[in-house]
Amino acid sequence: MNDDYDDEILTLEAFFDEKTMSVHLVERNPPRAKRGEPGNWELVELSDRILTYEELDILAEAILETAKYDNDSFIEIEEEGAAVVQLRNLRIAIARRPFADKMEISAIRPIVKLNLDDYELSTKLMNRLESRAEGILVSGSPGSGKSTFAAALAEFYSSKGNVVKTLEQPRDLQVEESIVQYSPLDGSMEKAADILLLVRPDFVIYDELRKNSDFRAYADLRSAGVGMVGVVHAGSAIDSLQRLLLGGRVELGQVPSTVDTVVHIEDGRVAKVSALSLKVKLPTGMGGTQRDLARPVVEVREFEHGVLEYEMFTFGGEKVVLPVRGGMASEGGRDGRPRGRGVPGESVPISISYNKKKVTIYSGGKYAKQRIEIFAGDIYLFTTVVGRNGESAIRIKTRQGSMLVDAMEEGAKVTAKIAQ
């Protein structure tokens, strides 16, 4: 513990050092900080001292007053019981009653600023980012470093003579002075996007895509010819595309023209890159050569080697995202029946779609009639049986259906394995 924090709290700066990403001050709790580096954070207690409402209230008022008069600071949100403030390079969230049951001040500061060269990207990927990629999603879990990569990408495009803007709420990307950072206009990102079109940017960095309106604004700007980089909370590259399709945010046929490249970030590095394209073909695994089954199919390929990993298409009125890893969809015999049974604990590649009535889990004919366990992250949700058609349908109003939809909309990574 550090005795330096035992005096009256007047500023936030005393809690930060070069390894501190965020500070969390909660009424009736000791001060805590998250320290480390992307992918390796540790929450540590800074003192034995218990914080009081009175001192946190004084600190909150000082933060708000400073933001009003400092030209480099501003108040993003101020509602009853909640406020979000950008105080120089600190993003500060203030919560108090009735919004929260305790007074809390959380301050986040970026501790890493990188340029694109620091990521040691392949020549092939650099060429794509510079000349072909115009609809990019940067995905990753919280704290993975995706916003840091997006900021590096913004400065890369700016250095190539492009007009670059950002859309953020709150505005906390660390970018050079030539890049103007925009926030919602009258509470609406769509209104802000309309103004941005008049500015005629070459690229817009959208941090981050969460609500339906965010995805619509991103798609509208992209369809107007603006190069777009969107930051999305997602456990994998394909999960970020699943979020793009939820609730009809983007029509399936428009997906490749809206997003052509997905860059997934883990532990502060580029872990995976996917490329999208649209083909009219018979989806892999449907079997046969019937031309009437051919349809528009969005192919999702691993970028560096061009390996087909997923296909996205419409089937029976639903949007399907089907894994095609390692030729999984063609592992059965000519009659489409599985050649072997899965081993308990074996991982099962799945994709999920849903409408107002049901959630459908697709795993392919290889796992027909097998029991599979469904997980959200490390949390077990339920066990279901794969039907003869390689899928399991669950009514959305059931407990299992609602649990699965909630996990997907919260950005959790949903996985499956053969039941024990």
Residue 64: predicted pLDDT: 93
Phi first, then psi, for residue 252 (nearest 5°) are -55, -45
Q: What's the sign of the alpha-carbon dihedral 110, 112, 118, 120?
A: negative
Contacts of 332-335 with C-beta under 8 Å, sequence gap 24+, read 332/365, 332/366
* Residue 260, pLDDT score: 95
Taking the whole predicted model, whether its pTM rises above 0.85 is answered as no
Q: Does 330 have pLDDT greater than 60?
A: no
Q: Give yes or no for residue 289 having a pLDDT over 60.
A: no
Q: What is the mean pLDDT of the segment spanning 308-320?
A: 85
DSSP classification of residue 325: G
Which band of pLDDT confidence, cut at 50, 70 and 90, is reported for residue 91? confident
DSSP structure class, residue 179: S
Q: Rounded to an integer, what is the distance from CA 361 to the centroid of its chain?
A: 21
CB 66 within 8 A of CB 87: yes
Given a cut of 80, whether residue 144 has pLDDT beyond it is yes
C-alpha distance from residue 91 to each of 58, 87, 95, 313 (Å): 18, 6, 13, 41
- Asked whether the predicted pLDDT for residue 283 surpasses 90, the reply is no
Main-chain dihedrals φ then ψ at residue 130, nearest 5 degrees: -80, -35
Question: Average pLDDT in the 68-88 region?
Answer: 88
Q: Listing from the earlier edge strand, what are the strands of the sheet with 391-395?
A: 351-354, 358-362, 391-395
Q: What is the pLDDT of residue 290?
A: 57
* In the chain, % of residues over pLDDT 70: 90
Cβ(175)–Cβ(153) below 8 Å:
no
- Split at pLDDT 50, 70, 90, the class of 328 is very low
Amino acid at 4: D
Contacts by 52-56, CB closer than 8 A, 24 or more apart: 52/27, 52/28, 53/27, 53/103, 55/8, 55/9, 56/9, 56/25, 56/27, 56/103, 56/104, 56/105
Instruction: Tally the C-alpha atoms within 13 A of residue 199's C-alpha that lie toward its C-beta.
Output: 21
pLDDT tens, position by position, 206-236: 998 988 889 999 999 999 999 999 999 998 8
Region 40-50: mean pLDDT is 89
Beta partners for residue 262, in sequence order: 137, 274
pLDDT of residue 188: 87
Pairing of strands 135-140, 227-233: parallel
Please say whether the beta carbons of 345 and 317 come within 8 A.
no
Full set of structural domains in the chain with CATH: 3-108 (3.30.450.90), 116-281 (3.40.50.300), 331-418 (no CATH)
Question: Vertex 320, ends 319 and 325: CA angle to 5°?
Answer: 155
